[in-house]
């Protein structure tokens, strides 16, 4: 199976490329090689490339900048995925498109399922929802995977910022009234790999996945929920346990209303339910605490 990863220079795209290169015939395109804001370039490059599956891990993810650059946000996050989907349809290839928990408004206080109505409250969320719709309208065999609070070794994220600050200062703080679930890129790569195995077999795999499950929308996040403050506190606890040199031991509480530099609205609660994935595979994702501990042990304790 020939796979192309668009956005291979990003946090998730790099992880996908690394995890699959020994198992599949996989190629990656970073931003310099394919710019999703140049649709003619996208068409030219991808139509000249042979593949059976395209994974789109690229997006315009600066939530606040999306508010002031609405046209660019919709071009990259909405129009470009539709173009990718149509190119895949022409090639009789499949598309896995990565989306976000920010398509929800945060009013719910239980994990969001794939059947819950999306109602974004930011331009970023609006553009990502439009991208989902364009992908699924172009070909009903395509798959949208929504993820949340993605972290991993290939590009700094919230967790890396906390560790950096805690190594320099004895006091750190994080928002205590916004909730979701961190999701490890290595875990996303693993579950996508299981989905690929199910598709390539075109028959039920040992975990129950089949080609028929590779369509529509699927949520994936490490299980549990936390605030950014809880996320940061667990990060520090793991650092101390693993011998990672950090000065701070506790994380102070900030409030969303105090974030004066924020332009866009954020959902207060955007926990994604992985019940659909768990029902298909019989195995739930590991907890976010286990994933964070693994990340710190693997990528920080040896430094």
Number of H helices, E strands in the chain: 11, 12
Tell me if residue 199 falls in helix, strand or coil. helix
> CA–CA separation, 277 vs 191, rounded Å?
9
Structure tokens at 210: 């089949």
Tell me if residue 167 falls in helix, strand or coil. helix
Q: What are phi and psi of 203, to 5 degrees?
A: -155, 160
> CA–CA separation, 239 vs 189, rounded Å?
24
Tell me if residue 223 falls in helix, strand or coil. strand
Tell me if residue 45 falls in helix, strand or coil. helix
> CA–CA separation, 274 vs 196, rounded Å?
18
**Is 20 a residue of the active site?**
no
Q: Where are the beta strands (DSSP E) in the chain?
A: 2-6, 25-29, 53-56, 94-100, 143-147, 150-151, 172-175, 179-180, 183-184, 216-219, 226-227, 251-254
Query: Could you say which of 20, 102, 112, 124 is catalytic?
Result: 124
Please list the active-site residues.
124
């Amino acid at each position: 199976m020939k796979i192309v990863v668009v956005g291979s220079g990003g946090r998730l795209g790099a992880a996908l490329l690394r995890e699959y290169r020994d198992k599949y015939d996989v190629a990656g395109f970073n931003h310099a090689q394919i710019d999703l804001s140049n649709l003619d370039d996208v068409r030219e490059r991808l139509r000249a490339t042979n593949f059976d599956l395209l994974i789109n891990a690229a997006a315009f993810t600066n939530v606040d900048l999306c508010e002031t650059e609405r046209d660019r946000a919709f071009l990259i996050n909405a129009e470009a995925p539709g173009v990718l989907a149509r190119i895949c349809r022409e090639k009789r290839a499949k598309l896995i498109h990565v989306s976000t928990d920010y398509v929800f408004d945060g009013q719910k206080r239980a994990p969001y399922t794939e059947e819950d109505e999306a109602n974004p409250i930011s331009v970023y969320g609006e553009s990502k929802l439009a991208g989902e719709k364009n992908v699924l309208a172009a070909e009903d065999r395509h798959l949208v995977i929504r993820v949340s609070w993605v972290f991993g070794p290939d590009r700094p994220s919230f967790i890396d910022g906390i560790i950096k600050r805690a190594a320099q200062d004895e006091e750190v703080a994080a928002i205590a009234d916004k909730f979701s679930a961190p999701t490890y890129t290595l875990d996303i790569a693993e579950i996508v790999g299981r989905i690929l195995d199910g598709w390539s077999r075109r028959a039920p795999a040992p975990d129950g996945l089949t080609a028929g499950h590779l369509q529509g929308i699927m949520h994936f996040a490490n299980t549990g929920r936390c605030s950014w403050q809880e996320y940061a506190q667990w990060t520090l606890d793991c650092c101390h346990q693993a011998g990672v040199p950090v000065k701070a031991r506790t994380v102070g509480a900030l409030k969303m209303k105090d974030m004066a530099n924020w332009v866009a609205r954020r959902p207060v609660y955007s926990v994604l339910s992985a019940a659909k994935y768990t029902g298909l595979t019989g195995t739930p994702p590991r907890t976010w605490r286990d994933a964070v501990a693994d990340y710190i042990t693997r990528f920080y304790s040896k430094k």
